[in-house]
Amino acid sequence: LTGIPREQRAFQYLLAHAIPGDPRHVLQTFDQWCYHCEHLSCVGPAKGRIVERLLLERAPFRVLELGTYCGYGTVLLAQGLPPGARLYTIEGDPQHAAVAEKVIRLAGFDEQTVELIVGPSEEVIPQLREKHGLTKADFIFMDHWKRCYLRDLRLLESHQLLAEGATILADNVLFPGAPHFLQYAKTCGRYHCRVHRASLEY
């Protein structure tokens, strides 16, 4: 009715209520909006704890996020990075990317820590090494279109962008589901697979 996309409405709420430069408070304010105002398909606090735990265990130096959306997952990842680490995040929708850019900077992360790349993942991934300087990723968080999970994993493999022992965390593989990705990961012999049970966001 307002003509303002709900992602932009969420950002306006963040501007009014979140503490700038405080990533944890930015996430909490996002959660308040999603619980009480409008649902956004962000990672959310329950699954966010899984992400935080894995980041703490792995301490990755080069992180790649596929599917920035509003920047919630990006802030979640960025706040868990060890000093000197860098996060590359890819978003295909320019309008979502415009909101995410503002959210990421509001949370206090500069371009040295978080690089937001706008474009389809199948076009960006082959350019990551030469254009963006990402030689190998230690940690990959997939939270974009589920039908793209397998294609993009194969692209990461074929362009040798996965560091030895890399962790790949893929959201919502059971529902809405990414069955081909899951089947490949379990049967190709390259990965040790574990399913983390969680509820849907909010």
Verify whether residue 102 is a known catalytic residue: no
- Between 6-17 and 94-106, two packed helices, what is the crossing angle to 10 degrees? 10
Verify whether residue 93 is a known catalytic residue: no
Tell me how far apart the alpha carbons of residues 115 and 27 are, in angstroms, rounded to a whole number. 19
Verify whether residue 171 is a known catalytic residue: yes
Residue 59 near residue 82 (C-beta atoms within 8 A):
yes
Could you say which of 111, 143, 164, 186 is catalytic?
143
Give the H/E segment covering residue 156.
helix 149-158
Residue 23 near residue 109 (C-beta atoms within 8 A):
yes
Could you say which of 7, 47, 101, 172 is catalytic?
172
Q: Give the contacts of 175 (CB within 8 A, at least 6 positions apart).
A: 200
Tell me how far apart the alpha carbons of residues 86 and 30 are, in angstroms, rounded to a whole number. 23
Closest by alpha carbon to 13, among 102, 91, 114? 102
Verify whether residue 146 is a known catalytic residue: yes
Give the H/E segment covering residue 154.
helix 149-158
Could you say which of 7, 65, 152, 201 is catalytic?
201
> In the numeric block, which tokens belong to residue 33?
């909006």
Verify whether residue 152 is a known catalytic residue: no
CA dihedral 97, 35, 169, 177 (to 10 degrees): -100
Could you say which of 65, 138, 146, 152 is catalytic?
146
Q: Give the contacts of 199 (CB within 8 A, at least 6 positions apart).
A: 46
By annotation, the residues acting in catalysis are 143, 146, 171-172, 201
